[in-house]
Structure 1
């Protein structure tokens, strides 16, 4: 016997499968957009707080956070794959199978992310050294690193919870709960820095506490009897029939995300060779457009759930239209954001200067950030398109495309290009400073990868039109 949907769950499911797509996508995306925006704001404010501790600490945080991003790929990949599987069954009306897959996603994510966290903390200094961290970064940031690695387990659990709520189209609860968490995180961070003259380690502890609060709430919701995807302790077993489809989908997502993030760590290592502040400057440049990136990412996140549910409901045309509508919304926001950021950059960059004597941004550092942003701002368009297209393929269970795109983006068009720029002296005549190659390389890799993903989409769209998908046709 299938579990009965609540009135709210039933209305959301009907809207996703039968309602006006433009309206449905916007309704789902708005809570995610607000959540992502606030998430960005606390990251933005965190960076300002780090800069206030000392400009030298910016390098520490940016470098280690990139490692954290790579390690988080384990749990996030499982959550992403689980969301696709659960949403398919949910769209098809097979609620019991959706619920059992939700439980498998949770236990798999918990076990793997927990094991990875133990390993990364145990071999912390070796990992930092191997990724190109300077002695100063290791000395100043080891405690920060350890806490951030522990937080990846909580992030994995929270990602599963968020993914399951997205699968239901319940994006409002994601917004409400995360707003509470962000308020806790920001309050603790500000208190640590301004009242207790805290360090970056204290900021990491604030993150751990905030993520821990969300984890407690997430577990209570996921195991609640009223939850349509309720996870039962008695069923928390790794059964092959449920685990293997999730693993099969998650492995390409994981390797794509992990290698891309790990490669960005390598990029940071090369960037440090051009200038001690290059990594910090690049991190700030990325933060400048992060707000608008957060807004457009909401359409990517809602896109996967809507497409997956409609494929489960055997509506291929509606699934493809979801992607097209998401592209329109995201492109409009990206263009508006690009214009605003170009006009406001000179007012935003000084926010990242410390008020402590001797720790203020120097003129050279200001110009470095501005140059990095000269090229980085275009990722608001290029990275958005890449994410939307790869999410389309993930929703269609073609996760190997996501892996391929991430690999070529980094290991074909980014790392080799930067290495050549830095080691072939002929290119030096075109720049005044070596660090300029870092920003230029990011632009080249993002732009070329976007072109390739668009070609992949056009090929896929052609096949869908002529041959259909899993017995479905347009």
Structure 2
């Protein structure tokens, strides 16, 4: 998501626009809309914990169920982004070239390809979740008390999500930023209103996670209806589906398959890793600390308020560095990075103060009907202590990766670092549980903090090497330019 700011062109020879005026001002202008969206989206996560406040007869650890199911939902969302994103990239390339015929072909293929693949994957995920004694897709212990039904509703939502990703992505490629922002806010608002509708019209304590999943399904379906209207019936839409002119091409299909495969792996790796961590957590700790996963989810919820703000400035940095990266002088992009580093450091400090002084109050605000035991409160404080370190470790690592990606236009470094992060998290969690006697909440917290710290160190080394290389290349370019000027002067 981006916002228009004052820009100027250095020349007319395909140079990227530079941002004019104060870096701080531009960062704030770009980041505020993103911050509003991310915080709004984050608070929708709080709605689930807030509305489903009471445990059920079969499953007393409803917060753990919510945490697990929400992470499974994030996996489906990441896959949908990958499937839909492939088509969007190819459509955007042809649309910007004003190649109407190719654009039309890619739009139609993108929709068909995304729908068919999402249907096939839904069948695979459904079969995986009904296999007896097989916990990879959905833990057996969570299949009762609405868990299986909730999972199946998520699979249907996954199909609608994939369609929505294609539609919204195409609209974004057409620079319809306001319309895209409206669709995202409409989706979130509808979901929240439906969730509260269940709370208002149902008897106290009768709202279940299944109800909340239906709210998600209907909000996604609403956007899908809008997508179908624009793609089939809106004559003003220049990217409508046209099956009459559609030509099947195995070459294009291979291109779609290759691109979507890479995007799915890249986007879903981290979310799948987190889902595996959640499943491991239930296996390791449920017999001893049945509420641990739920408490961890609530700690992440509290910490995520300030984390969302920091993420918005990461996004602002990426936009500005991408615009400036075509210039050979890296001093301005480093200045942008330093400004964002200062902002996120201040936000991280504020986040820690909020967590320390208001963390427990926020916990009780999100769960007003629950009576927490002293052990659960202490466990919450322990996990929150480790979780809040991500305000520095994860944010700084993401900033550095974002900086490199803005220059390289490749997300490989992000993929490998996310893979490293989840691998370390799984390894540390297993090692701490099997080989140490420290508090279970501390084990969970250390696995999070430890993996983030190691990734930060690795990313910092890569970043420093990248900066040195960029600086050397910049110096060489300056020498070449000076030599050219001398030659022109002599001529």
For the residues of structure 1 that align with 2:324 and 2:214, how far apart are their CA atoms? 41
Q: Which residue of 2 aligns with 1:17?
A: 17
Closer/same/farther in 2, CA of residues 278 and 181 from structure 1, 3 Å limit:
same
Residues 20-419 of structure 1 mapped to structure 2, 5 A cutoff: 20=20, 23-52=25-54, 56-79=61-84, 94-96=97-99, 99=103, 103=107, 106-126=111-131, 129-131=134-136, 135-140=140-145, 141-164=147-170, 166-167=172-173, 170-196=176-202, 197-220=206-229, 230-234=239-243, 239=249, 250-272=260-282, 273-274=284-285, 275-301=289-315, 314-315=326-327, 320=333, 327=341, 329-353=343-367, 355=369, 360-395=371-406, 396-411=408-423, 413-419=424-430
How far off is 1:46 after superposition?
1.7
Cα distance per residue 1:60-108 (max 9 Å; x no partner) = 1211222222233222234556666777788xx6344895697365554
Number of equivalences: 451
Q: Which residue of 2 aligns with 1:452?
A: 458
For the residues of structure 2 that align with 1:284 and 1:369, how far apart are their CA atoms? 8
Larger displacement relative to structure 2 (58-67 or 233-242): 233-242
For the 8 Å contact 1:12–1:170, the answer to whether it is kept is no
How far off is 1:456 after superposition?
1.9
Cα distance per residue 1:296-346 (max 9 Å; x no partner) = 3334445556666777xx556689566666555544434333332322102
For the residues of structure 2 that align with 1:388 and 1:237, how far apart are their CA atoms? 42
For the 8 Å contact 1:353–1:361, the answer to whether it is kept is no
Could you say which structure has the larger radius of gyration?
A: 2
For the residues of structure 2 that align with 1:316 and 1:219, how far apart are their CA atoms? 45
For the residues of structure 1 that align with 2:98 and 2:471, how far apart are their CA atoms? 30
For the residues of structure 2 that align with 1:238 and 1:377, how far apart are their CA atoms? 51
Closer/same/farther in 2, CA of residues 449 and 406 from structure 1, 3 Å limit:
same
For the residues of structure 2 that align with 1:195 and 1:382, how far apart are their CA atoms? 43
For the residues of structure 2 that align with 1:259 and 1:11, how far apart are their CA atoms? 34
For the 8 Å contact 1:37–1:294, the answer to whether it is kept is yes
Structure showing greater relative contact order (alpha-carbon pairs closer than 8 Å, 6 or more residues apart): 1
For the residues of structure 2 that align with 1:361 and 1:22, how far apart are their CA atoms? 43
TM-score, normalised with respect to structure 2: 0.77
Secondary structure of 1:36's counterpart equals: helix
For the 8 Å contact 2:125–2:137, the answer to whether it is kept is no
Structure with higher helix content: 1
Closer/same/farther in 2, CA of residues 295 and 95 from structure 1, 3 Å limit:
farther
Secondary structure of 1:198's counterpart equals: coil
For the 8 Å contact 1:66–1:264, the answer to whether it is kept is yes
How far off is 1:146 after superposition?
0.9
Larger displacement relative to structure 2 (330-339 or 31-40): 330-339
Cα distance per residue 1:255-283 (max 9 Å; x no partner) = 24433222222222332222211111111
Alignment root-mean-square deviation, CA: 3.9
For the residues of structure 2 that align with 1:438 and 1:126, how far apart are their CA atoms? 28
For the 8 Å contact 2:71–2:271, the answer to whether it is kept is yes
How far off is 1:408 after superposition?
0.9
How far off is 1:49 after superposition?
1.4
Secondary structure of 1:398's counterpart equals: coil
Closer/same/farther in 2, CA of residues 9 and 349 from structure 1, 3 Å limit:
closer
How far off is 1:414 after superposition?
1.2
For the 8 Å contact 2:128–2:137, the answer to whether it is kept is no
For the 8 Å contact 1:108–1:238, the answer to whether it is kept is no
Closer/same/farther in 2, CA of residues 376 and 10 from structure 1, 3 Å limit:
closer
